[in-house]
């Protein structure tokens, strides 16, 4: 995932670009880059699970931001319900916690990216921007711990498949 990693690195660079008084443009672009890093992490992972390597780039292009957000909201909701049952601390619970971190970060960063890109009245601070970047970094770490789990692979499918009622 070099592209996703590069975007995350760029986000941190932009957030720290001006040492004393960060420009709003730098902070806004940092938030946007952090969101796109997470977006591309998930779409790349989704495509890597496609059997025919020649089709993977096209599969990654299928992903739509709104559908991915809805899928993440649904998954986060299911996971929140699961955690209300106070499950035992075991491997399944650990995987669920990591997946919840990923889905929560995606939903929140999707909102923050829209705010950064389109709400010109919002004022961003370096501290707030770095917190958002750190939430994406935590989501990256969580994803890397669970990426081979069946629950994670099942989740990736929901990002592009229409939910059946």
pLDDT given at position 12: 98
For residue 57, the model assigns a pLDDT of: 75
Who's near 75: CB < 8 A, 6+ residues apart? 99, 103, 155, 158
Most confident of 40-49, 127-136, 156-165: 127-136
Hey, what are 36's tokens?
A: 């796109």
Residue-wise pLDDT tens digits, 43-96: 999 988 877 777 667 777 788 999 999 999 999 999 999 999 999 999 999 999
| Whole-number pLDDT of residue 138 | 98
Residue 128 lies in a domain: yes
Answer yes or no: is 163 within a domain: no
90 in any annotated domain: yes
| Alpha-carbon distances, residue 93 vs 84, 98, 132 (angstroms) | 12, 9, 25
Question: 67 lies in which domain range?
Answer: 2-158
Lookup: tokens for 57: 């780039």
Count how many Cα atoms sit within 13 Å of the Cα of residue 142 in the half-sphere of its side chain.
23
Predicted confidence band of residue 163 (pLDDT cuts 50, 70, 90): confident
Domain count, the chain: 1
Task: Give the global pTM.
Answer: 0.94
| Token representation of residue 115 | 């705010």
Give per-residue burial for 86-111: e unless 16+ CB within 10 Å, then b: eeeeeeeeebbbbbbbbbbbbbbbbe
């Amino acid at each position: 995932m070099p592209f996703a990693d590069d975007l995350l690195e760029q986000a941190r660079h932009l957030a720290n670009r001006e040492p004393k008084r960060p420009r709003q443009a730098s902070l806004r672009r940092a938030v946007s880059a952090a969101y796109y890093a997470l977006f591309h992490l998930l779409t790349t992972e989704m495509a890597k699970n496609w059997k025919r390597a020649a089709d993977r780039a096209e599969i990654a292009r299928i992903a739509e931001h709104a559908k991915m957000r809805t899928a993440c909201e649904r998954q986060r909701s299911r996971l929140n319900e699961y955690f209300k049952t106070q499950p035992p601390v075991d491997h399944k619970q650990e995987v669920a916690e990591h997946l919840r971190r990923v889905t929560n970060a995606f939903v929140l960063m999707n909102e923050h990216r829209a705010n950064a890109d389109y709400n010109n009245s919002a004022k961003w601070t370096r501290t707030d921007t770095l917190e958002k970047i750190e939430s994406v970094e935590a989501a990256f770490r969580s994803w890397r711990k669970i990426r081979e789990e069946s629950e994670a692979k099942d989740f990736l499918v929901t990002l592009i498949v229409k939910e059946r009622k």
